[in-house]
């Protein structure tokens, strides 16, 4: 009988446990989370400067009254809206075979320092990956690393969520920027 009551107790614990699973809800923020998938890519942003329309992968398309559409506005570019279609590569070489495109926009949003807000997608259609990963978030680009949200995905990345850590791998003047993106996915379907 003791065994049976132990069993009953275990059962109750089991039931309580499973009915409380709210997987997300009660997770402690101190807990270290292990990603279900990690990916590293580079993308390459070449901003239109009035002379490089052939090579440019990005262009300023909105600017405040004091700005213009080819020169990055003073006041740390505040208000410049840039649209981009950047090649994605597996290593840090601009001339490597692109395995996808980073497409979307950023908008410089501080007067005191370079900071941007990003909305974009990685669009893959290669043997490695098919589908898209969608991103949004603040990019305080003078920080060595900065985290943005993976807000969804399609195809191989159906319904995924996670965090991407961006770092500026290299830049040349205000025209070429190479970004490294380490993508850690914590929800994989």
Residue 7 sits at φ, ψ, to 5 deg, of: -60, -45
For a second copy, give the closer residue by CB, 22 or 173: 22
Cβ pair 119, 97 in contact under 8 A: no
For a second copy, give the closer residue by CB, 27 or 93: 27
CB atoms within 10 A of CB 72: 20
For a second copy, give the closer residue by CB, 2 or 91: 2
Helix, strand, coil fractions of the chain, as percent rounded to 5: 10, 45, 45
First-to-last alpha carbon distance for the chain, in angstroms, is 44
Least gap, CB of 171 to a second copy (angstroms): 21
For a second copy, give the closer residue by CB, 91 or 112: 112
For a second copy, give the closer residue by CB, 149 or 168: 149
CB atoms within 10 A of CB 58: 21
Cβ pair 107, 117 in contact under 8 A: yes
Q: Give the residue among 130, 163, 142, 178 at the shortest CA–CA distance from 37.
A: 163
What is the number of alpha carbons within 13 Å of residue 161 lying toward its C-beta? 3
């Amino acid at each position: 009988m003791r065994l049976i009551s132990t069993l009953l107790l275990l059962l109750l614990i089991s039931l309580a446990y499973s009915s409380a699973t709210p997987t997300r809800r009660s997770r402690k923020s101190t807990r270290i989370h292990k990603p279900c998938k990690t990916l590293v890519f580079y993308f390459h942003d070449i901003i239109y400067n009035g002379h490089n329309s052939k090579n440019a992968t990005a262009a300023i398309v909105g600017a405040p009254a004091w700005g213009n559409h080819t020169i990055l506005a003073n006041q740390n570019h505040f208000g410049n809206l840039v649209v981009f279609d950047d090649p994605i590569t597996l290593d840090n070489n601009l001339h490597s075979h692109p395995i996808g495109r980073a497409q979307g926009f950023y908008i410089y949003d501080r007067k005191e320092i370079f900071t941007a807000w990003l909305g974009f997608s990685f669009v893959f259609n290669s043997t490695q990956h098919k589908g898209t990963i969608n991103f949004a978030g603040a990019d305080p680009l003078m920080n060595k690393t900065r985290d943005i949200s993976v807000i969804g995905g399609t195809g191989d990345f159906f319904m995924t969520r996670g965090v991407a850590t961006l770092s500026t791998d290299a830049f040349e003047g205000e025209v070429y920027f190479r970004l490294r993106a380490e993508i850690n996915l914590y929800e994989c379907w």
